[in-house]
Amino acid sequence: MERVNFNDRVAVVTGAGQGIGRMYALALARRGARVVVNDLGVTRDGSGADTSAADKVVEEIISAGGKAVANYDSVATMSGGENIVKTAMDSYGKLDILINNAGILRDKSFLKMTEEEWDLVMNVHLKGAFCVTQPAVKIMKANNYGRVVFTASISGLYGNFGQTNYGAAKLGLVGIMNSLKLEVAKYDIKVNTVAPNAWSRMTADVFPPEFEEKMNPQFNEPMVLYLCSEENKVSGNIFATGAGWYGRTAIVSGDGVCLGDAKRSISVEEIRDNFHGISNMDNKREHDSGLGMFEYMGPLLS
Ligand code: NAI
């Protein structure tokens, strides 16, 4: 089989100045893509700004014979997002691939969380994905081709102590994906989400020290590159990765129980008495859109 390549493709990777995003940028460039290396160069909690993070990765790519250009805008504003996409258009004339990867942390237990800590995290992860993806998808739609990846987290999918802000923002990205995949399906734009796991400055004080080698950020890169390739035909999926493990995760529902006849009201006692059936997930299923849920109500609606 032919090697997966990104010849003639233009990619934007946000937050690519270090950590996992840097791996995506280097790998895309090695396989032929022209890459916009976006990074605001902030600390882990989102403070400061430093152009050297993006510059270093661009230098690395160019000295290895690849093509890349730096962008230092914040993903967290619409003007920043538009400028990131403009950098791709001004430098390379198109945009095929967007990896929304930039991120910060402001961990705090829920009762101690401040409004500022909530807003900062939401702005970078959730609003940031909107601000970059909207201008990017405009270009992709015009070209009838695109690959978009959002970066969620197992924290958002399943929870993590002290990360209600981060987890909400990360699961919010799945919400963007679920609707966006429907809106762009006919333009060959595939939208997927990854939940990576890697040793980086984000996790260095959370993971045990022996994870440093095993949780190499590189192990997340091949999954994301595959999702960004022309060969990938899936859209609206979530993949978790880490240490060389790759798996799909999904939102599913059980069959549930139809009560009443859609005319009479249902009592609390009926819910109590049917709780086992309502909670049963033996026959769990995924749905391509929210409309799938109406299948369960079929007997009541017909
Ligand atoms: P990192 O801290 O090494 O890299 C994040 C990069 O994003 C930094 O270079 C930072 O300057 C940049 N950035 C932050 N705010 C920005 C903004 N407003 N505009 C542009 N750039 C900005 O983190 P890491 O570990 O590489 O994480 C990458 C992504 O993966 C993040 O979205 C993170 O939430 C996610 N993730 C990471 C996990 C891990 O195990 N490391 C686990 C789950 C998710």
For the stretch 178-192, pLDDT in tens is 999 999 999 999 999
Would you say 189 and 147 are in contact if contact means Cβ atoms under 8 Å apart?
yes
pLDDT of residue 16: 98
- Name the domain count of the chain: 2
- CATH code for position 257: 1.10.287
Beta-carbon contacts of residue 278 (< 8 Å; ≥ 6 apart)? 256, 257, 271
**Mean pLDDT, range 272-280, rounded to an integer:** 98
Tokens of 228: 């960004």
Do 153 and 209 lie in a common domain?
yes
Residue type, 214: K
Would you say 192 and 237 are in contact if contact means Cβ atoms under 8 Å apart?
yes
CA dihedral 20, 134, 91, 192 (to 10 degrees): 40
Would you say 167 and 160 are in contact if contact means Cβ atoms under 8 Å apart?
yes
Whether the per-residue pLDDT at 1 is higher than 90: the answer is: no
Q: Which of 24, 72, 92, 166 is catalytic?
A: 166
pLDDT of residue 262: 96
Catalytic residue check, 296: no
pLDDT averaged over the chain? Answer: 97
Q: What are phi and psi of 5, to 5 degrees?
A: -135, 165
The answer as to whether 4 is a domain residue is no
Do 220 and 300 lie in a common domain?
no
Q: Compute, in angstroms, the gap from residue 220 CA to the centroid of ligand 1.
A: 13
- CATH code for position 35: 3.40.50.720
Residue type, 72: Y
The answer as to whether 291 is a domain residue is yes
Judge if the beta carbon of residue 105 lies within 6 A of ligand 1.
no
DSSP-assigned beta bridge partners for residue 150: 100, 193
The rounded distance, in Å, linking the Cα atoms of 87 and 233 is 27
What does the pLDDT look like over 136-147, one tens digit per residue?
A: 999 999 999 999
What does the pLDDT look like over 103-134, one tens digit per residue?
A: 999 999 999 999 999 999 999 999 999 999 99
| Domain ranges, residue 283 | 252-302
Judge if the beta carbon of residue 42 lies within 6 A of ligand 1.
yes
Pocket test for ligand 1, best of 73, 85, 101 (most atoms within 8 A of CB): 101
Give the ipTM of the model, two decimals please.
Answer: 0.99
Do 169 and 257 lie in a common domain?
no
